[in-house]
Amino acid sequence: MKEKHTIIVTVINSPGVLARISGLLYQRGFNIESAIAAPTEDPKIYKVILVVEESDEYIEQIVKQLNKLIDTIRVVDISHKDNYIVREYIILKLDIQQKNRTDLLELSKQFNAHVIDISIDHIIIELSGNPQKIDRFIELVRPFGIKEYVRSGEFAMAEYQKSKKGEKNGS
């Protein structure tokens, strides 16, 4: 069964490392839903965070193949792990009628979203949070008339090591 997996790839920041990763995924026939790459606290290290929709056995191959790249230091599929903070960022542009405006602003407030720009007929909003929250927000504002949006793709980080006493963090 295909399922969404978020995979964190820690790599040496070497020239072409992104091309290596995307080339590998393409060559092996894996589809990437989103990918972001960014520097980390160590200038030699990059993190690439991939969202892939595949079955478990495929994911196992993806993880192994990514691990095989010489520049890869670590690969973690965090999908079945609950000790990760996963976040995403979105900017939305909405067509908006004067009369709906307060409803939208109210909704944004509920979600802790920020208005970046506002004019007679449109409004630009930004929001960050876990991907499910972003999905929900999109659904709720859809009726107002979405003109365009961009999502950052998922990024993630492990929480502080906790004592494993059944602490759950769903988001």
Partner 1 sequence: MNGAEILIDALKKEGVNTIFGYPGGVVIPIFDVLYSTPDIRFVLTRHEQGATHAADGYSRSTGKVGVCLVTSGPGATNTITGIATAKLDSSPLVVISGQVHTSNIGSDAFQETDMIGLTRSICKHNYLVKDVHDLAKTIKEAFYIAKSGRPGPVSIDLPVNVQNAKVKNYTYPETIDLPGYKPVLEGNTLQIEKLARAIEQAKKPLLYTGGGIIAANATDSLLALLDKTQIPIVVTLMGLGSVPYDHPCYLGMPGMHGTIAANKALMECDLLIAVGVRFDDRVTGPPHLFANQATIAHIDIDPAEIGKNVKTHLPVVGDAKYVLEELYRHVKPRLPDAWNERTTYWKKQYPLTYRKSKDGLISPQSVIDKLNDFVGPETLVVTDVGQHQMWAAMYYHHQKPRHFLSSGGLGTMGFGLPAAIGASIGNPQKPVVCISGDGSIQMNIQELATCSINHLPIKILIINNTYLGMVRQWQDLFWNKKYSQVCLKQGPTCPPDCTGDPKTCPFEYIPDFVKVAEAYNIKGLRASTPEEVIPVLKEGIETQGPVLMEFMVSREENVFPMVSAGKPLSDIMTGDKP
Instruction: Indicate the DSSP class of residue 99.
Output: G
Closest CA to 145 of 123, 163, 161, 162: 123
3-state secondary structure of 101: helix
42 binds partner 1 (CB under 8 A): no
Q: Is 3 or 60 the residue whose CB approaches partner 1 more closely?
A: 60
Contacts of 41 (CB under 8 A, 6+ apart): none
CB of 100 to partner 1, least distance (A): 50
69 binds partner 1 (CB under 8 A): yes
169 binds partner 1 (CB under 8 A): no
1 binds partner 1 (CB under 8 A): no
At 169, phi and psi to the nearest 5?
-135, 100
- Tell me which residues touch partner 1 (CB under 8 A): 11-12, 15-16, 19-20, 23-24, 27, 57, 60-61, 64-65, 67-73
